[in-house]
Amino acid sequence: MILPIEDTPLHRLPNLARHLGVDADQLWVKREDLTGLAGGGNKARKLAAIVAHAVAQGCDHLVTGGGAQSNHARMTAAAANIAGLDCDLVLTPGRPGDESGNFLLDRILGAHIHRLEAAAMPYHELEAAIQARAGRLAEQGRRPYAIPIGGSSALGAATYIPVARELRQRLDPDLVVVAAGSGGTHAGLVAGFGDHGKVLGVDVGARPGLSAAVEELAAQAASHAGLPRPAGRCQMDTAQVGAGYGAPTDAALVALRVAARTDALLLDPVYTAKAMAGLFAVVRASPGMRVVFLHTGGLPGLFASRYAGWLTSSPPASSADGSGTAAGPS
Ligand SMILES: Cc1ncc(COP(=O)(O)O)c(C=O)c1O
């Protein structure tokens, strides 16, 4: 294996469970934020498989893309360095002066960065821009490997099959809650459980037609691993998106603060805070379930300058603290 992946911890969140009014044994976190690879996150497993494939094909260049604060782009740049490959990143522009967080790390890691002009580019146009960049490199005599947004090929998604198996063996949870951007992590977990009913994605607003994409990717990942097509239909919480991808919401800010102030679990503004807000809603609605929060990482996004004002703002007026009963943590 060119990129070594650490085993990640699985542990209870006892203070958060108490805060939400459930038993400590009912709330767990799988720490996919602690995978290693330049800050960690759910892209590490996907990239381990993708980079091995790229190297086996004789490629010398990784090409991918995303938003200016893409965790996937940052981790692809890191993976390329470890594997001795070049890396081109096609990124949408951040706000003026927004050279912080993941974008700063992309620069430190030495990726070749191509900023797009459109501030927000539709998902499929960004995919096309990644392909176009790879095409230009090929014309120059390079051997590029184009990685889809989020590393969500069937190969990438399938790397979450063993994680689902581990969770089933160790805990047999009723539900895993995960942030869904390109949908690959969600899909791989579903393929591993063989059942859509075991995984709730929380849509962060990155990809149009996300539920259909998850169903398609879950079937492809299962087939890639020689498993049957998963049962059931995709489960997706679409209520946490707010004004769109990367847009702050009150519920995400509450979830981010509560997780930090109970079990010192740090979440990111774009993905995991919205996923935790989705988990709060599920636990409130079905308090009897054993739930695992799959922490997908994203910590550098917390240090993106664009979020500093929001993160330090007064608590939302609605002040829902996630518990429905207990006072919010101070
Ligand atoms: C921190 C974080 N969480 C979750 C996701 C979503 O994962 P996926 O694209 O597999 O749906 C991403 C994707 O970029 C991410 O960076």
Give me the pLDDT at residue 329, please: 30
Give me the pLDDT at residue 275, please: 98
Assess contact for 60 and 85: CB atoms under 8 A.
yes
The mean pLDDT value for 115-142 works out to: 91
* Atom number, ligand 1, closest to the C-alpha of residue 183: 11
Q: Catalytic site residues?
A: 70
Assess contact for 236 and 228: CB atoms under 8 A.
no
Q: Is the CB of 268 under 6 A from ligand 1?
A: yes
Contacts of 267 (CB under 8 A, 6+ apart): 255, 256, 259, 260, 273, 275, 276, 295, 298, 302
Q: Could you give the CA distance from residue 72 to residue 221 in angstroms, rounded to a whole number? A: 19
What's the token pair of residue 113?
């960065």
Q: Which domains does the chain have, with CATH numbers?
A: 10-40+153-311 (3.40.50.1100), 43-150 (3.40.50.1100)
The mean pLDDT value for 28-33 works out to: 98
* Atom number, ligand 1, closest to the C-alpha of residue 71: 16
Count of Cβ atoms closer than 10 Å to residue 287 Cβ: 14
Give me the pLDDT at residue 110, please: 98
Q: Is the CB of 159 under 6 A from ligand 1?
A: no
Q: What is the pTM of this model?
A: 0.95
* Atom number, ligand 1, closest to the C-alpha of residue 178: 4
The mean pLDDT value for 20-40 works out to: 97
Q: Measured in angstroms, how far is the CA atom of residue 72 from the centroid of ligand 1?
A: 7
Q: Is the CB of 185 under 6 A from ligand 1?
A: yes
pLDDT band at 103 (very low <50, low <70, confident <90, very high): very high
Give me the pLDDT at residue 116, please: 84
pLDDT band at 21 (very low <50, low <70, confident <90, very high): very high
Q: Measured in angstroms, how far is the CA atom of residue 271 from the centroid of ligand 1?
A: 7
**Residue 163 one-letter amino acid:** V
Q: Measured in angstroms, how far is the CA atom of residue 19 from the centroid of ligand 1?
A: 26
pLDDT band at 326 (very low <50, low <70, confident <90, very high): very low
pLDDT band at 328 (very low <50, low <70, confident <90, very high): very low
Would you say residue 196 has pLDDT above 70?
yes
Of the candidate ranges 167-171, 175-179, 292-296, 306-310, the one whose mean pLDDT is the lowest: 306-310
* Atom number, ligand 1, closest to the C-alpha of residue 66: 14
Q: Is the CB of 182 under 6 A from ligand 1?
A: yes
Q: Measured in angstroms, how far is the CA atom of residue 109 from the centroid of ligand 1?
A: 20
> Which contiguous run of DSSP H or E holds residue 178?
strand 175-180
Give me the pLDDT at residue 121, please: 78
Contacts of 217 (CB under 8 A, 6+ apart): 152, 154, 157, 183, 184, 187, 188
Q: Is the CB of 67 under 6 A from ligand 1?
A: no
Ligand 1, atom 1, lies closest to the CA of 298
Among 35, 42, 76, say which to mutate for ligand 1: greatest number of ligand atoms within 8 Å of CB: 42
Count of Cβ atoms closer than 10 Å to residue 255 Cβ: 27
pLDDT band at 317 (very low <50, low <70, confident <90, very high): low
* Atom number, ligand 1, closest to the C-alpha of residue 271: 3
Give me the pLDDT at residue 59, please: 98
pLDDT band at 97 (very low <50, low <70, confident <90, very high): low
Q: Measured in angstroms, how far is the CA atom of residue 191 from the centroid of ligand 1?
A: 17
Average of per-residue pLDDT values in the chain: 93
pLDDT in tens, 172-187: 999 999 999 999 999 9
Give me the pLDDT at residue 315, please: 67
pLDDT in tens, 217-262: 999 999 999 999 999 999 999 999 999 999 999 999 999 999 999 9
Q: Could you give the CA distance from residue 58 to residue 54 in angstroms, rounded to a whole number? A: 6
Q: Is the CB of 152 under 6 A from ligand 1?
A: yes
Would you say residue 327 has pLDDT above 80?
no
Would you say residue 330 has pLDDT above 60?
no
Q: Is the CB of 71 under 6 A from ligand 1?
A: yes
Q: Is the CB of 173 under 6 A from ligand 1?
A: no
Would you say residue 320 has pLDDT above 80?
no
Q: Measured in angstroms, how far is the CA atom of residue 262 from the centroid of ligand 1?
A: 24
